[in-house]
Amino acid sequence: MARAKKKTAAPPAVVRHRPKVVRAVDGTGTVYRLVCPCGTTGREWYGRGPAQEELERHLAALPVVPAAQQCQAPRRHDRRAWEPCLVCELQTALFDLEVAR
């Protein structure tokens, strides 16, 4: 009789916070709202400014990335300041480099 394969749990998916302010047309006019892939949505605003402030508050509430995990080449690695970079973290350990900030 064949043995049943053990199912291993997949690692949890990393949620990338890429919030943006989206514009929509409501029955009363144009409204703006914060939308983030993490599931956070803001309330509807008639001006872009309050929605942008809501976006900034959302980013400020995220945990601070440790210096060893901060990306040294954010454009090449497609990382934002609030996202840890596994590539840079592993390179720092590989070459025994100190992160100078």
Q: What is the pLDDT of residues 12-57, one digit of tens each?
A: 556 778 899 999 998 889 999 999 998 899 999 999 999 999 999 9
**Total tally of structural domains belonging to the chain:** 2
Let me know whether 26 and 52 are in one domain.
Answer: yes
Let me know whether 81 and 100 are in one domain.
Answer: yes
Q: 72 pLDDT band (50/70/90 cuts)?
A: confident
Let me know whether 48 and 29 are in one domain.
Answer: yes
**Residue 95 covered by a domain:** yes
Q: 1 pLDDT band (50/70/90 cuts)?
A: low
Sequence letter at residue 56: E
The domain in which residue 46 lies consists of 16-62
The reported pLDDT for the residue numbered 32 is 96
Q: What is the pLDDT of residues 77-99, one digit of tens each?
A: 888 888 888 888 777 666 665 55
**Residue 46 covered by a domain:** yes
Let me know whether 72 and 56 are in one domain.
Answer: no
Let me know whether 99 and 85 are in one domain.
Answer: yes
The per-residue b/e assignment along 27-61, b for 16 or more CB within 10 angstroms, e otherwise, is: eeeebbbbbbeeeeebeebeeeebbeebbeebeee
The reported pLDDT for the residue numbered 24 is 92
pLDDT at 58 over 90: yes
